[in-house]
Each structure stands twice: as C-alpha cells, then as structure tokens.
C-alpha cells in the first residue's frame, strides 16, 4: 500500500468513527420546564453548562424585597423561545437520564443568552463555556445579579436538607 493510499484509509476510518459518535439533533417546538430545562416532543433537555434558579427559588432585590427569580427565569426563557423551532445538540446525559444539550433558536445559543441576561449562572462544575458571559451579567447587575441570591446548586442542597 502506498503512503497516499494509507493516508486515505486512515482519514476514512477517522471520519467513520466521528460520524458514528455524532448525535442526531433534537429539533422541534419547545416547552419550558424551568430556566434551564425544556421539553421537545416529550424529551426533557437540560441546557448544557448553565444552572438557573429553581422555579420556587427567591432572590432579594437591592431594597431587600424578595422576588421569584426562578419563576422569572422560566418566563424569560419561554418569552425568548415562544413557538419557534429549537435545535438541541446533545452533549451528555445527566444522572436523571435527561439529555444535556446546547440548544439554539436560529443561531442563538439559548444557554448563553440566559447567562448573559442574568437569568442563569455558568455551571462551572460541568463547563467553563459561559464564565465570560456570567462576568458580563454580574458587571451589568442583570436580573439575579441585581441583588442577592443563592447559587442554584446551594439553594437545592439547602432545600433538600430541610
């Protein structure tokens, strides 16, 4: 076998392996479950790399007034998506068996948008992709960053221990 033919064979094997590992995108109209979870055609999808306040979680405004930041995060995602088609590219499965995916409306990464607008935080335990976006939201004191809040993972832990 010539060097050229060997290179072609290796390239074909690499492409075949990559294609076998590729996931088919999940595409459809999404229903919002909460600020970091959607459902498309019965499939629950957790947005990759972000964590939003839980639906019943409260945050505190600068004047000390509590507000339902988790509920508002859900509304923000629902308002953004509307009835438009969403495309999700699976990255993983979580411990509950949900698909973990980067989801797009058109070319917009919905997780990035949620973090940039202060409705979610970068979930550093799983990804550093959105840390810069979180820094921007924090600097702009956007939404949850406008006052005080517990990180969603801390809030869940505290709530489970009650």
User: Average pLDDT per run of 10 along the chain, which is 162 residues long?
Assistant: 49 40 85 97 96 97 97 98 96 93 97 98 96 98 97 94 72
**Residues spanned by the domain of 66:** 22-144
Report in angstroms the alpha-carbon separations of 115 from 25, 37, 110, 132.
Answer: 22, 14, 9, 9
Counting the structural domains of the chain, the total is: 1
Distances 104 to 33, 81, 119, 149 between C-alpha atoms, Å? 16, 9, 17, 27
Is residue 70, in this structure, part of any structural domain at all? yes
Type and span of the H or E element at 105 = strand 99-105
In a domain, residue 133? The reply is: yes
Question: Does residue 156 sit within a domain?
Answer: no
Q: Is residue 160 part of a domain?
A: no
What is the domain-level CATH number for residue 134?
2.40.50.90
Residue 56 within any structural domain of the chain: yes
Residue 59 located in a structural domain: yes
pTM for the full predicted model? 0.84
Q: Which CA distances in Å does 127 have to 10, 84, 90, 100, 119? A: 32, 27, 14, 12, 17
Residue 66 resides in a domain: yes
């Amino acid at each position: 076998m010539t060097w050229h033919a060997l290179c072609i064979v290796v390239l074909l094997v690499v492409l075949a392996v990559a294609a076998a590992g590729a996931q088919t995108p999940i595409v459809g109209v999404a229903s919002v479950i909460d600020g970091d979870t959607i459902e498309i055609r019965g499939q629950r999808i957790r947005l990759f790399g972000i964590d939003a306040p839980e639906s019943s979680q409260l945050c505190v405004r600068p004047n000390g007034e509590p507000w339902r930041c988790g509920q508002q995060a859900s509304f923000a995602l629902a308002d953004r998506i509307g009835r438009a088609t969403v495309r999700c590219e699976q990255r993983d499965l979580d411990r509950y068996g949900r698909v973990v995916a980067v989801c797009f409306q058109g070319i917009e990464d919905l997780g990035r948008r949620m973090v940039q607008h202060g409705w979610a935080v970068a979930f550093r335990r799983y990804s550093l992709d959105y840390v810069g976006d979180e820094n921007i939201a924090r600097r702009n004191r956007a939404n949850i960053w406008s006052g005080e809040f517990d990180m969603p993972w801390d809030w869940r832990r505290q709530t489970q221990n009650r």
